[in-house]
Amino acid sequence: MISSNLPERLIVESPKRIGVLGGTFDPIHLGHLAAAGEVAGVLSLDRVFVVPTAGHPLKDGSEEASAEDRLAMASLAVSGDPLLQVSRVDVDRGIPTHTIDTLTDLGAETPGAEWFFITGADALARLDEWQEASRLRDLATFVGVTRPGYEWSGPIEGVTLVEVPGFDLSSTDVRRRVRTGQPFRYLVPGSVADYIEEHHLYRGGSDG
């Protein structure tokens, strides 16, 4: 074992490479976890924060879960996985919120880290329209998750693409399956499926 004679306060750890996977996660599903794992492997990330949003963009009458339910399901999904960690930073801030707020707050909590914001490539195609887009590229590398055969048409600067097989799974499909009584259990972690059933989530409304 190698020991150091340096005082403890002078031993500085290398900055961590940390991913941020943001979304509504309504509910979190195996596609989300596959994306986090694939990006972490390709980019050698030390950790990936799963960050549920406070609000919800649904406006079509869909049955949706509360922020606390979505946080609970995300926590169940990552339980026991040393790579993934759920953060309440967006939920506790409330709405409205933007990616610039998420990255600023997380950066303050973990100074010196190198950040990678992970989301679907389709969303990043309009990155230049995001709130304070010019500052965003200074705070993080943006990682667009794509399905095999996807053709990128967005900005190149500050964006890295990572292909994830089987990324077509969606939370909308999971909700619809629950509502219509179709099988959904193997599209989400078992603990999340149990939570959905025990709390009677997604039983009403319509996905249009």
How confident is the prediction along the chain (208 residues), in pLDDT tens digits per residue? 444 444 444 444 556 999 999 999 999 999 999 999 999 999 999 999 999 998 765 444 456 899 999 999 999 999 999 999 999 999 999 877 899 999 999 999 999 999 999 998 888 888 889 999 889 999 999 999 988 778 887 777 778 999 997 667 899 999 999 999 999 999 999 999 999 999 999 987 544 3
On whether the CB atoms of residues 27 and 192 are closer than 8 A, the answer is yes
Which positions ≥6 away from 144 have C-beta within 8 Å? 119, 120, 121, 123, 124, 125, 152, 154, 159, 160, 161, 162
On whether the CB atoms of residues 130 and 99 are closer than 8 A, the answer is yes
**Would residue 204 be called left, alpha or beta, if left means φ above 0 and alpha means ψ between -120 and 50 degrees?**
beta
**Residue 13 has what pLDDT?**
57
Fold for 14-198, please state it: Rossmann fold (3.40.50)
Pairing between strand 141-146 and 17-23? unpaired
Instruction: Note the pTM of the prediction, 2 decimals.
Output: 0.86
**Residue 57 has what pLDDT?**
56
Among 72, 133, 132, 140, residue whose Cα is nearest residue 103: 140
Which positions ≥6 away from 52 have C-beta within 8 Å? 22, 23, 24, 25, 67, 70, 71, 74, 86, 90, 91
Domain positions in the chain: 14-198
The alpha carbon of residue 13 and the mean position of all alpha carbons in its chain are separated, in whole angstroms, by 26
